[in-house]
Structure formats: C-alpha cells, structure tokens
Amino acid sequence: MHRNLGVFTSREVPLWKLFAQWQGKATGYTKGRDRSFHFGTQSHKIVGMISHLGPQLGVANGIALAEKLQESSKLAVVFTGEGGTSEGDFHEALNVASVWKLPVIFIIENNGYALSTPTEEQYACKQLSDRAKGYGMESRQLDGNNVVEVYSKLKSLFKDVRRRPRPVLVECMTFRMRGHEEASGTKYVPEKLMKKWEKKDPLVNFERFLKEEGLLNSKKSEKIRAEIAAEIDENWSKAIAQPEATFSEAEEIQDVYAPHRPEPVYANGGSSTLRLIDAVSDGLRHAMRRFNDLVIMGQDIAEYGGVFKVTEGFIEEFGKGRVRNTPICESTIVSAGMGLSISGMKAVVEMQFGDFVSSGFNPIVNYLAKTHYRWGQAADVVVRMPCGAGVGAGPFHSQTNEAWFTKTPGLKVVYPAFPYDAKGLLISSIEDPNPVLFFEHKKLYRSISEAVPDDYYNLPLGKARLVRKGDRMTLVTYGAGVHWALEVLEQHPELQIDLVDLRTLVPLDMDSIEESVRKTGKLLIVQEDSLFGGLASEIAAQIGERCFQHLDAPIKRLGSLDTPIPFAKSLEAGYLPQNRLKQALLDLYHF
C-alpha cells in the first residue's frame, strides 16, 4: 500500500504509532528512517511500499503465490492510483497474476489526478478497468465514494476469490479534496469539479444514509465525533511524548541486514568431479530438498531446464509449483520473490543472462535492499546472474555488472571462481535471509572442473580464499580473473605471489587483503568489469588508507576497457584485460 491511512486505521494500527511514524519518532515503524506512512507491519498484515509505486503490485503477486502454494484460501489486496497504472510493473503484475491464476485483488483508486496530471493526460482508454480484458482477467468498477457499495461488493468478491482463486482488477472512482500531499494544494483543479465531488463526500453521505435508515441520530453522531476527537488528542499527546530518533552508527549499520548467524555444515562422504555449472545445479538441488518453502522462478527454467540447463530435471523432482517458468518480466518476478519472503518463504530468481537484470533493477536496489533497514522485513531472495565475456556474446549477453550492486547497501554480492566454492556459497546464499546477487561466469561453466563433495555443505560469505602463497606481491581478483592469474603463474612459477580470490564482494574480506599487502608490500587488483568505478577502485582506496606505510610500489588496477563489450573475437580479446595481465603483473613485481 501507499500511504493508505484509511486501511491503516481500519486494521486497528495504533493511532499514536501512526503519528509517531509520521513525525519520524524512534518508536515509529521505521525508527525515523522513512517519512510519512511509508512503512509495513507484519502484525497487521500491511506491506510497505516504495515511492516508485510499481513493484508493490508484484510483491502482492508473491504473497498471493505463497497463499496458493500453501492452499490457505487467503488472498492479497494491493492498492495503486490511476497514475501508477502507467508503470510497466502494473502491466507485468497483471499478466503474471493472470497466467498463474493468483488470488490477488488489484484496486485502482482513480481520483482523477496523478498529483496534478489529469486522467486525459495519463491514458486514452475509457476506463482503467477495461485493461483487465487484455490480460484475460475479470474487472469491476465501483463508486469508490459509496461506503455501502464498496463494502458489500468487495466482501462478496473476496469470498468468491477465496473459493475460486483468481486475480480481479477493481477500479474505484473517487476524488481528492486535498492535495496529493499537503504541499501541493489543489489550485490545478477546476472549481466546478471540486463542487461536483464535494456533493459526493463519502462520510457526509454515509452519515445521511445511516440517519435515514434510523441507525444514527444527531446526538449519537455528536458523541461519536467527540469520542474520535478525544482519541486523536490522546494519541497525539502520546506520540509527541515519544523519544526522538537518535543517531547510533552501530545500530544504523546493524539494521541494514536481517540478523543471520550461519551454522557451518561440513561435507561428509564422497565427492564427484563437477564442472562449475554442475556444482551450481547440485547446490540448488540440495537447497530445494533442504528448504521445502524454496521456490525458483525464471524464464524457461521448467521443462527446458533453463538456457544453460542448470535446472534440467528439477520439475520431475520438485514439481511446477516450485520450479516456475515466468513471462519475460524481470521486475515483477523479483518483486514476487520479495512477496514470497514476506510470506515466510524463500525465492531464487534466475536472470536468463545477468545483463537482463537491468529490467529488474528497481525492485532489487530500492525494495529488496532497503526493506529490512526501513521496517525490519527480511528479503530472502537470491538472484542468480549468469555473466561474463569470453564467449563472443556481444554487448547484451556478456556484462559482469557487479558494480551496479556493490554500491547499494543492503545487498550481498557473491562471485565464485571454482565449482567447490560455487556449490557451498550458493547454499549459504540461500540460507541467508538477506538479498544476494549470485554471479556465475558463463565462460567458466563448462571449462573448469574439480572434486566437489556430494553432500550438502556451506561456505561462509565474506571470506576470501588464498589460492597461491608468496611474499613478494599480492594479486587480488575474482571470477574469471582468478584463472587468468593462474595461467600466468603457471608460465612463471618463480614468481612469489599471494593470489587472493575474493569469492564474496559484499561483504568484502578487506582483512585478508590487508594482511597479504602488509606482508608483500605490492598490490595488483584485477577485475573483468570495465575499469572506471569498479570494485578494484574501492579496494585500492581502502588499502591506500590502511596500508600506505607498508607499500613498496603504487597500487595498480587492471580491468576491461571503458567501452561496451564487443562481439568479434579479436575485439573482445582486446577489450578484456586477460592479455594485458602478464605484463602488468611482471611490471609491478619487478618495480
């Protein structure tokens, strides 16, 4: 929901706590971290929104999916304004809800203006409820100012949807007699229109109706008003007396992530030689067996097994309810993963290619990343990201775009280079109740093999791996960069180099990097991503601050060119830093 005060009060959310939230008090639902009524509360079954509006519709889909899978006979209701229906997430959400036959009611509060933009400048269809036809959905249009009509018809509709789960679009025709928010005013509204809707005031007309029906008289009405006024005054006084939000750096940092104390699980028994792609698949399969509430979603992942065949054979073991093909709509599927988490389930979302995550960027960086910090709700979602160049896939199927996410507080970013790490780190990512971007390099999928335990096991996030030991220089990298470095070191076994594989980019194991640099005095950081603004720059800056007096040479960074990724083999080879690594390493080593 988006600031829906009427629903908050009808759900009996304590009025003083609403006031405290509104005033940014420490006892508000967001501890002063978000404004107005931008919050959620599980105890009242109210789900917090974000100001981008659209993703909340997909979140409702995820909650409805959880109810459907659990056969609960419950449903989700989500509100949007007529302006919000222009966002792509609205159309994605309706499409997914219709295809999956989800028990969700989409309510459009059509009040004629998106802030100050009138409906004729927002859409050309006659009624927004007509849009349901394009998605094979039922729709209703209600007089949103008629209390009896809204109550009776929605009550009947909810009962029917519980009996026969399906999505329904409801358009409530209403109006705002005040501004979108207090600062905007209503000068943009013609006076004639204001007078027209003033006659349709739902409270005035409902009071008149109750009196006509003999259910209310003036004396009782005055008593109710007095009681409400007293309740407001009492709760306002209580809210004002609440403590102001006070800054604590430790608490602010602590609340970015949901608490998680992982218990190490060590492998017992035998092992098998697996490629990296097999290890990812094996880890995902083990997690599906361990967590019965885990759902995986993605394009072509069911019968087809995904374009890289990671989930091949999964529907035979886990069924189509938990292994779900999705329409091409990354944004609402990420949001649906958030909805599953709100319902106490786990979600893994596969991006067909990591590049396509840009279509789901908003809910990842604005919803998943910020939800726990804002109102204490975990976002138990893993987004799998097949990524990387070296396979001639061109500008839209080759990016390694981890820097888009390492900058965003609230996300964790994992990037394994070896099959053993891929399985253990994927399991840990799924165990973790926080949102994780899990990068899987396509070039490594079928080119790297090693012994991987057959059992379920996990590996700690935030701990780098020392692949080679030496005391003359430190080389820090991750993903394909680890294997580029190993190739150079095989050609030059005389080089005494600490080769550090980061494995996890957020949280970043700066302690291991610092320990190595203090020993060697030299540092080269290699990333496949284009150089400017990447993780290498952050590591270089931190080491410069921490270890300046221990350095025997300038810190060096090596990355791809600051261009899009080209398709032709020769151009791609020139783009990547792989062919420049040997010289860069030797130059710094002999500095």
Active site residues: 397
Alpha carbons 369 and 47: distance in angstroms, whole number: 15
Q: What is the dihedral of CA 20, 21, 27, 29, to 10 degrees?
A: 150
Q: What share of the chain is helix, strand, coil (3-state, %, to 5)?
A: 45, 15, 40
Residue among 399, 316, 312 nearest 353 (CA): 399
Q: Which of 375, 402, 408, 411 is nearest to 50 (CA)?
A: 375
Cα 141 from chain centroid (whole Å): 32
Residue 522 · residue 472 · CB < 8 Å: yes
Structure tokens at 269: 């028994």
Note the residue count of the chain. 591
Cα–Cα distance between 345 and 68 in angstroms, integer?
Answer: 12
- CA torsion 502→376→72→109, rounded to 10°? -110
DSSP states of 229-287: HHHHHHHHHHHHTSPBP---HHHHHHTTS----PPP----S-EEEEEHHHHHHHHHHHH
* 152-to-48, 155, 159, 193, 436 alpha-carbon distances in Å: 26, 5, 11, 28, 43
Dist. CA 326–CA 300, nearest whole Å = 7
CA dihedral 64, 70, 74, 78 (to 10 degrees): -10
Residue with tokens 């909650």: 63
For residue 298, the cross-strand partners are 325, 350
Instruction: Return the structure tokens found at 60.
Output: 């409702």
Name the residue among 523, 542, 522, 540 with its Cα closest to residue 531.
540
Q: Report the C-alpha gap between 460 and 260 in whole angstroms.
A: 12
